[in-house]
Amino acid sequence: MQPSVWPGELWMLLGAVLLDQLLGDPNSRWHPVVLIGRVISWGEACLLRLTQSSWQQQTSGAVLVAVVLAAAYSSAWCWMQLLALGGDAVQWLGGALLLSFTVSPRSLAAAGSEIRDFLAAGNMAEARRKVGWIVGRDTADLDEGEVTRATVETVAENIVDGIISPLCYFLLGGVPLAFLYRAVNTLDSMVGYHNERYEHFGKAAARVDDIFNWLPARITAVLLLGAAWVLRMDWRNAWRMMRRDAAAHPSPNSGYAEATVAGALGVQLGGLNYYGGVASLRAKMGEPKEALQGRHITKTIRLMQVAVALFLLLASLLLGW
C-alpha cells in the first residue's frame, strides 16, 4: 500500500543528492566541512603543543574528537530545530541543503573525469598534477597506468567516505548524525595519520573513523556488486575479488570498495607507492586482466553513479513503504 505522502526523510535524502548534482560542492570558507576543518585545526594547535608523552597525546587527541563531534552534531541539530519553525516544507528543503554538504558524488565524478580527459589528450603533466590533488602519494613520475590506478582507487574509496556513509547515518539519525559522520571523516583526513606528528595524537580519530565506516563499507561493496550487474560488468569476479582481497588492505574498510571495483573492471589495484620519496607497498586488489587506462576511470564513475542510484532506490523502499 502506497503512502499518501512520502516522509520528510525521503524528501531530504532525494533532495540532497539532487542539489549536489545541480550545484556541486560550493567552494566557500563558510562550507560546513570547511568550518569543521577550522575547528579541528584550532583544537590541534591548542592541544598538541601542550602534550609531550604518547599517553598525553592520545588523551588530548581523544578530547579533540569528542569536542569536534559534539560541536558538529549539536550545530546541525540546532539548525534543524530552527528550520522546523518554518514548517515541513522549509525543514525538508533546508535539511536537504544541509545534507547535500555532507555528500560529494558530483565533485568526485568531476575530479575523476578531469584526470581522464587529460590522459586522453596525452597531457601527462596536468594529469599528474591533478591526481596529486586527490591522493597523498608522489605523482611526478607516474605513467598513464599509475595515474589511472591512483584515480580509480580514490574514487572507489570515496564512494564510502563521500557518499554512502553519510547517507547511511542520515537514515539512522537524520541530518545531525550525517554531520557527525562528516566530522569523523574530516578528523581522520586531517590527523589520522601514521607519522611522527600524529601517530599518537591521531589514534582516536583513526579508530573512530574505522568504526563508523565498518558497516557502510560493506554495504557499498554490495551496492557495487549490484551496479556491476546492472552495467553488465564482471560482477562474479567482483564478488570473488572482494572476498579474496578486501581484508588484505591496510584499512579495515577501504579494501571492500577497491577490491570490488577492481574485480568488476578486471584490473589490479594496489602495489608500490611513494610518499615523500619513501616506498610503500600496498596489498594488491584484483587481477590484471586488462592494463589500466583512462577508460577505467569512466567505468569506475559509472559504477559509483549506479551504486548511488541503487542506494536511493533501496532507501525509498525502506522509508516510503
* Cα Rg, the chain, nearest whole Å: 20
pLDDT over threshold 70, residue 89: yes
Q: Is the pLDDT of residue 3 over 50?
A: no
Mean pLDDT over residues 294-301, rounded? 98
The whole-number average pLDDT for the span 49-63 is: 87
The tens digit of pLDDT for each residue in 217-274 reads: 999 999 999 999 999 999 999 999 999 999 999 899 999 999 999 999 999 999 999 9
If pLDDT is split at 50, 70 and 90, which confidence band does 30 have?
confident
287: number of Cβ within 10 Å: 16
Tell whether the model's pLDDT for residue 309 goes beyond 80.
yes
pLDDT of 4 higher than 70: no
Residue 2: predicted pLDDT: 42
- Average pLDDT on 185-211 reads 92
> Is residue 6 very low, low, confident or very high in pLDDT (cuts 50, 70, 90)?
low
Asked whether residue 320 carries a pLDDT value surpassing 90, the answer given is no
Q: What is the mean pLDDT of residues 96-125?
A: 96
Per-residue 3-state assignment (H helix, E strand, C coil) for the chain:
CCCCCCCHHHHHHHHHHHHHHHHCCCCCCCCHHHHHHHHHHHHHHHHHCCCCCHHHHHHHHHHHHHHHHHHHHHHHHHHHHHHHCCCHHHHHHHHHHHHHCCCCHHHHHHHHHHHHHHHHCCCHHHHHHHHHHHCCCCCCCCCHHHHHHHHHHHHHHHHHHHHHHHHHHHHHHHHHHHHHHHHHHHHHHHHCCCCCCCCCCCHHHHHHHHHHHHHHHHHHHHHHHHHHHHCCCCHHHHHHHHHHHHHHCCCCCHHHHHHHHHHHHCCCEEEEEEECCEEEEEEEECCCCCCCCCHHHHHHHHHHHHHHHHHHHHHHHHHHC
% of the chain residues with pLDDT over 90:
83
pLDDT of residue 24: 83
**Average predicted confidence (pLDDT) for the chain:** 93
In this prediction, residues 288-292 reach a mean pLDDT of 96
205 and 65 Cβ atoms separated by less than 8 Å: yes
Predicted confidence band of residue 276 (pLDDT cuts 50, 70, 90): confident
- Cα–Cα dist 225/245, whole Å: 15
pTM of the model: 0.94
pLDDT tens digits, one per residue of 99-112: 999 999 999 999 99
